[in-house]
Chain A
Amino acid sequence: MTDFFIKSDISRNDAEKVVSETLKNCDDGELYLENSKTENIVLDDSKIKNSSYNSDIGYGLRAVTGEVIAYSHSNEISKNSLKNSSENLKSTLKSKKGTYNHSISKSNIKYYEDKNPIEEKSFSSKIKILEEIDKYTRSKNPNVKQVTANFLGEHKSVEIIRAGGEILTDIRPLVRFNVSVVLEKNGKKETGVYGIGGRQSYEDYLKNENWKKVCDEAFRIASVNLDSKPAPAGEMKVVLGPGWPAILIHEAIGHGLEGDFNRKKTSAFHNLMNQRVASDGVTIVDDGTLQNRRGSLTIDDEGTPTEKTVLIENGILKNFMQDRLNARLMKTNSTGNGRRESYKHIVLPRMRNTMMLNGTHTQEEMIKSVDKGIFAVSFGGGQVDITSGKFVFNCTEAYEIINGKIGSPIKGATLIGDGPSALKEVSMVGNDMMLDPGIGTCGKAGQGVPVGVAQPSILINKMTVGGTQI
């Protein structure tokens, strides 16, 4: 654990005093300290294109009263810097008066081990694997024109000091391994991307030459796309494969169930609590407690232990995802969803691992039931407009379905839908739930945080497919 005060001109004791003094007339707040190390090694064009190491340390002092948040952050953990921050916060909140809520739940359960993935594996051995990856992938086929692979490792120490001197800490490892392949045949170029990762050591993902499977998958996706034809345009039935396509759930429903949008009444879901928002049989949870998963957290960035929060149960809206501020204003409890990208960012309610649970149907049944539609196996990224509820996502691997059978692969097309109505159009939920491989990053208000998703195959009765063929 980092000792944030060892080289500082302010002692831990004095820092605690500044925190307590700053927050004495506030409803909530804390001093959040963070020390993160990140290493990124990129192989591209058969060369080690980049090796970078980042060491970042800083704090964010936050005071909250009523609905108002005052935040000040800096890289310099010093007497003078903390004093400036404290004064800045007090000047914003000078006309407000609150009562500090000392209560915060506790847990001893950890969802990942205290590891430093960067130091556990030597730089030279990482380079060696990247070079093997390049050789292996290029040897698969002469059409391979470009291979990019990277190792991204992170080690983050977090300390939260609350008014009254309560201290919460967490150490978070995170790794991600990615391979991207470009194929060219008869003048046509296509890309395939695949990756894996989570809150463990590299070895947990790379042992037994597991990396070959990642290369194989990236190559397979690019090959499928080489044979793709233009996508259809218009409204049709869509079957989504299990796993990563659950970013549909994340975009269509997840963001709309975050506490801030509902407290502010800007979400299309804000007045739908305990009402039907999805077909019967659709159950969605947001779970921060899955061992070693990318979206898991032992405590959130306010110090609240994470949990498994049921958002939608058999189609009925049950809970929003909350941080402390929005929970207080909506007279409920934090669900451990208070997250921030780093000490440079304010806390927002954010998703962790968002999952649709199993139903009873098979993927085969779904495909058989479709006369004309598409089967979407993998997606690039998605986006949602919370207010109108419209969301999109981009297919990176998809096929047409004709008369109950999977046909040719189709070019990457955007799918567009409407959040509040999309889940009502789900007519079959599969029995093949899968977690994504551990690659998701969610963006909100300019902050990126690691997340996970999971779902079984699902059949959606009606979505607009943004191809070029009418």
Chain B
Amino acid sequence: MIKDQSFLDDKASYCIDSAKKNGATDVQVSVGNSVSETVNFRNKKLDESERSDTLILNLTTFINKRKSTISSSNIENNNLDILINRCVETAKNSPEDECNTLPEQELLAKKISELNLYDKNHISNEKKINFLTEVEENVFMDDKIENSESSFSENKSIFTLANSKGFLSGYKSSSFSASCVAVAKSNGSMERDYEFTNQRFLEDITKADKIGKAASSNAIKKLNSKKISSEKIPVVFDKRISRGILSVLSSAISGSSIARNTSFLKGAIDTEIFNKNINIIDKPNILKGLASRPFDSEGVKSSEIKIVENGILKNYLLDTYYGKKLNLKSNGRAGGTTNLFFQNGSISFNDLIKVHPKLLYVTETIGHGSNIVTGDYSVGASGFIIENGEFIYPVSEITIAGNFKDIFKNLTLADDLEYKYATNSPTTLIEGMTVAGK
């Protein structure tokens, strides 16, 4: 069982009082506990069970404009006393920084709205095993499947965030996730693919048979791939991949990248960085949302923001520190974005893949090839060749490359957005990238 809110609240208050007695002028503390239980299957048999019970306390002490942070998993008061003392002493020896401060009082979240993030239902390991048995029975329905690994995980978390300006709030959240990775084999070719589901509430997860069947067919489709020759060819990103464009955007417009002058989007605020028909929203208040939250990791209220409106960059992602650096106010993005998504485009998936007679449809990329400083992009890829709207054959061992400044301007979004991850995008057509192969 996870700890009570009152236990965490008391720990947080203890730290604030103790740090102040040690000489801190301001204090922020978070205390969290998370319990998860996971069961893994491999080739229709139980492979692994894991129970995880973790505690974490993060404390930041300020002495005017000096700051220091400690964290610990040992939250016994006698251990905390030692660490609090160390934290304050380190702050004393740290240089001043004008931007070191707690958030302004009026930005802190006051009314905490109920976002429906916690499902009290518990699913026993026996029931997880039944679920996974059904997943795996469905994977192996095709005899091209050689291997499979499936997993079911239940997580319950609770935390409290408090600061010396009187903020003290916290809440519980839960998640239930199941996944299946299938390995298919035929004519000496081996390929792996997957399907998964992740939801706040148990009742919302994808059914076991669907997960197994999808993983199976995804892996089989990739068998006996070809390597294509190098060319400039329009590329379509599957929803799994297109959401990565938003991750790059959010790194590039984070307060730290902008203030430190290490972003290819420095100075791009209020300019058109996408086509006019592109809108990007960050929405923290979706009920049951995977990345919903009433306030950010500093207690600042998180409200819905339009990041890109009609192609124009409208907001950076700011916490208190980088807000101050840029002479702006925090917009509640300490700890990153919330539920971030491209608004749907106006073309259907089926029409999108017919826009050009020949397309490369990318279902997987590997490597860390996004450079936030220059915007350059180059990754390994695999997927399919589409001709006249038909999937013709799988391709692998190729790379795709371009620069995000161009990629952003050459996007066409389909109308098939769904909320499967914290960051989501419809299927996306990108023109003008270079594909390297033979």
Residues of A within 8 A of B (CB): 7, 44-45, 47-58, 67-76, 81, 85, 88-89, 91-92, 123-124, 127, 131, 145-146, 182, 184, 188-191, 231, 233-235, 264-266, 268, 344, 346, 380-388, 390-394, 411-414, 416-418, 464-470
A85 to B436, CA, bound (A): 51
Q: Is B351 an interface residue (CB 8 A)?
A: no
Q: Chain A residues near B376 (CB, 8 Å)? A: 411-412
Query: Which listed segment binds A: B40-48, B109-117, B296-304?
Result: B40-48
Q: Is B369 an interface residue (CB 8 A)?
A: yes
Contact A55 B260 (CB under 8 A): no
Contact B47 A388 (CB under 8 A): no
A94 to B259, CA, bound (A): 57
Q: Chain B residues near A393 (CB, 8 Å)? A: 367
Contact A190 B261 (CB under 8 A): no
Contact B371 A412 (CB under 8 A): yes
Contact A7 B50 (CB under 8 A): no
Q: Is B230 an interface residue (CB 8 A)?
A: yes
A470 to B399, CA, bound (A): 12
Q: Is B101 an interface residue (CB 8 A)?
A: no
> With A72-B50, A233-B434, A265-B147 known to touch, is A123 a contact of B378 (CB < 8 Å)?
no
A394 to B367, CA, bound (A): 7
Q: Is B53 an interface residue (CB 8 A)?
A: yes
Q: Which residue of A lies closest to B66 (CB)?
A: A48
Q: Which residue of A lies closest to B91 (CB)?
A: A51
> With A68-B47, A392-B379 known to touch, is A7 a contact of B76 (CB < 8 Å)?
yes
Q: Is B51 an interface residue (CB 8 A)?
A: yes
Q: Which residue of B lies closest to A389 (CB)?
A: B190
Contact B400 A466 (CB under 8 A): yes
Contact B368 A380 (CB under 8 A): yes
Q: Is B197 an interface residue (CB 8 A)?
A: no
> With A123-B90, A466-B399 known to touch, is A48 a contact of B95 (CB < 8 Å)?
yes
Among A50, A55, A390, the residue within 8 A (CB) of B366 is A390
Say how far B139's CB is from chain A's closest CB, in angstroms. 14
Contact A75 B401 (CB under 8 A): no
Contact A233 B380 (CB under 8 A): no
Contact B90 A71 (CB under 8 A): no
Q: Chain B residues near A235 (CB, 8 Å)? A: 437-438
Say how far A263's CB is from chain B's closest CB, in angstroms. 11
Q: Chain A residues near B6 (CB, 8 Å)? A: none
Residue pairs across A and B with CB atoms within 8 Å: the count is 240
Q: Which residue of B lies closest to A232 (CB)?
A: B436
Q: Chain B residues near A67 (CB, 8 Å)? A: 42, 45, 47
Contact A71 B380 (CB under 8 A): no
> With A68-B46, A392-B380 known to touch, is A45 a contact of B374 (CB < 8 Å)?
no
Q: Which of B83-103 contact A (CB under 8 A)?
A: 83, 86-87, 90, 93-95, 97
Contact B48 A268 (CB under 8 A): no
Q: Chain B residues near A146 (CB, 8 Å)? A: 260-262
Residues of B within 8 A of A (CB): 42, 45-55, 67-74, 76, 78-79, 83, 86-87, 90, 93-95, 97, 125, 146-147, 183, 190-192, 227, 229-232, 259-262, 264, 364, 366-369, 371, 373-374, 376, 378-380, 382, 396-402, 434-438
Contact B401 A55 (CB under 8 A): no
Say how far B173's CB is from chain A's closest CB, in angstroms. 19
Contact A70 B399 (CB under 8 A): no
A47 to B376, CA, bound (A): 28
Among A55, A89, A391, the residue within 8 A (CB) of B70 is A55
Among A266, A384, A390, A468, the residue within 8 A (CB) of B396 is A390
Say how far B192's CB is from chain A's closest CB, in angstroms. 4
Could you write out 8 A-B pairs with CB less than 8 Å apart? A55-B72, A68-B47, A71-B49, A92-B49, A146-B262, A233-B434, A268-B190, A414-B380
> With A233-B399, A411-B376 known to touch, is A85 a contact of B51 (CB < 8 Å)?
yes
> With A414-B379, A470-B230 known to touch, is A75 a contact of B74 (CB < 8 Å)?
yes
Contact B374 A48 (CB under 8 A): no
Q: In terms of DSSP, what is the predominant structure of the interface of chain B?
A: strand
Say how far A221's CB is from chain B's closest CB, in angstroms. 13
Q: In terms of DSSP, what is the predominant structure of the interface of chain A?
A: strand
A344 to B380, CA, bound (A): 31
Task: State the 3 A-B residue pairs at the shortest beta-carbon distance, nearest first.
Answer: A466-B399, A233-B436, A392-B380
Say how far B376's CB is from chain A's closest CB, in angstroms. 6
Contact B68 A55 (CB under 8 A): no
Contact B48 A189 (CB under 8 A): no
Contact B260 A44 (CB under 8 A): yes
Q: Which residue of B lies closest to A88 (CB)?
A: B51
> With A387-B191, A392-B399 known to touch, is A414 a contact of B378 (CB < 8 Å)?
yes
Q: Chain A residues near B369 (CB, 8 Å)? A: 392, 394, 412, 414, 466
A74 to B54, CA, bound (A): 6
Q: Which residue of A lies closest to B403 (CB)?
A: A468
A190 to B71, CA, bound (A): 34
Q: Chain A residues near B368 (CB, 8 Å)? A: 380-381, 383, 394
A235 to B192, CA, bound (A): 25
Please give 20 more A-B residue pairs, beta carbons under 8 A apart, in addition to A385-B364, A387-B191, A394-B369: A49-B97, A52-B70, A55-B72, A55-B73, A55-B79, A56-B71, A56-B74, A68-B46, A70-B48, A73-B52, A145-B261, A182-B261, A189-B373, A233-B399, A387-B190, A387-B192, A388-B191, A414-B369, A468-B401, A469-B434
Q: Which residue of A lies closest to B68 (CB)?
A: A51
A367 to B231, CA, bound (A): 27
A74 to B72, CA, bound (A): 13
Q: Chain A residues near B190 (CB, 8 Å)? A: 266, 268, 387-388
Say how far A55's CB is from chain B's closest CB, in angstroms. 4
Say how far A29's CB is from chain B's closest CB, in angstroms. 13
> With A51-B90, A381-B368, A418-B397 known to touch, is A390 a contact of B380 (CB < 8 Å)?
yes
Q: Chain A residues near B364 (CB, 8 Å)? A: 385
> With A54-B71, A57-B73, A467-B434 known to touch, is A264 a contact of B49 (CB < 8 Å)?
no
Q: Chain A residues near B227 (CB, 8 Å)? A: 464
> With A55-B70, A464-B399 known to touch, is A382 a contact of B260 (CB < 8 Å)?
no
Q: Chain B residues near A394 (CB, 8 Å)? A: 367-369, 378
Q: Chain A residues near B434 (CB, 8 Å)? A: 233, 467-470
Q: Chain B residues near A81 (CB, 8 Å)? A: 53
Q: Chain A residues near B379 (CB, 8 Å)? A: 392, 414, 466
> With A47-B95, A48-B97, A466-B436 known to touch, is A53 a contact of B86 (CB < 8 Å)?
yes
> With A73-B51, A75-B73 known to touch, is A189 a contact of B68 (CB < 8 Å)?
no
A47 to B98, CA, bound (A): 10
Q: Which residue of A lies closest to B60 (CB)?
A: A52
Q: Chain B residues near A268 (CB, 8 Å)? A: 190
Contact B192 A388 (CB under 8 A): yes
> With A190-B374, A414-B369, A470-B434 known to touch, is A464 a contact of B232 (CB < 8 Å)?
no
A190 to B146, CA, bound (A): 45
Contact B70 A465 (CB under 8 A): no
Say how far B344's CB is from chain A's closest CB, in angstroms. 30
A393 to B368, CA, bound (A): 8
